Structure 1
Amino acid sequence: MDKGSEKCDDLDSEATNAETQQEDETAQLRDKLLRLTAEFDNFRKRSIREKEEYRKFAVEQIITELLEVYDNFERAIASAKQTDNIESVVKGVDMVFRQFASILEKEGLQRIECHGAAFDPHLHEAIMHVEHPEHEENTVVEVCKPGYYLHSKVIRPAMVAVSKKPETGGE
């Protein structure tokens, strides 16, 4: 064999080895990509499942507390049907209401205080404008339906009546 032929064989052999290495590396990377994709998919499914379980547990706790309120309302209704003493019925319903409000407050619910405040579209929903000479324009003069925060997020804006300047009838 001559030296030129040996060099060609060596180059062919090196090229074949390089190709084989690249194919092996590509196969390894492809396998790694498939495993990582499967792991991520499993992680995503597990995260969704865990979030759902957490939500159910959180709901279970609040429902358990509200069951006491539910039981007290049932007792109040039964008691109201058997008595003519309206004052005791009102007192009982008021106690149940305070228990209910206490649970909601403990969970982070707060009423939006807005009577007399400047109208804020993030906190209020204006359902009517009324002429009100004693208040500046765009002042909340009546709360038709209270609004609420849950922690710091507005979950229901207050439905309010907002003052406007009196129309002058100058003819």
Structure 2
Amino acid sequence: MSNEEQRAPGEDPNGEVPAEGSEANVSGPVPQEGPVAGESRGDAGRAAESGEGSEGREGSEGPDADLTVDDILGSEQSAEAAEADTARAAGEENPYLEDLRRLTAEYANYRKRTEANAALEKQRAVASAVTPLLSVLDDLDRAEQHGDLTEGSAFATIAQKLRGTVERLGVESFGEKGEPFDPQLHEAIAQVPVPGTEEHTVLDVIERGYRIGDVELRPAKVAVAVGADG
């Protein structure tokens, strides 16, 4: 047998056997490192981005993600109830707190009464100053009924100014023909029987009534229409 026939497979013609792991000892193709064939770098980048996005979404989900509006409102109501309980407990522990509330309410009532009394005193002061002018207003009413207050005349201008002045002071007149008779507002000077009258009404106004706010200067003096048989 020749030397070539006795050579082992893979043996160097010089008789040296290749070392293990060398390229000559590999029987198949060597795998390549890097991206798999047919896969572009863009696909790999998109895969990486999708992985980061999924991790971000998972991280954004926390223990409060499943809370509903009812849960939030319930927690707020519980907090308010706790505050109310705390306030009640503080009031029970501090006996002076109730006294403070009572004094505050009494002071508020006192202030209201004081302001009302001050306004009433002001109305009475104005009433005492205006009362002497009521007779002048009566004369103006009579002159107007007789036609002496011709529009555009000097007398009519003076009457208009005087009436406007007392109105600005808060003076109001009352008492009109045809209105129901009210003994709290009207003073009956005369009663005139009128057939068909079912209710006492003001037939004529002798003198107007005047008031300032709640202060009555004088009642209206009127003639009252009554039933023919009453």
TM-score w.r.t. length of structure 1: 0.44
Higher RCO (CA 8 Å, separation ≥ 6 residues): 1
After TM superposition, the score normalised by the length of structure 2 is 0.34
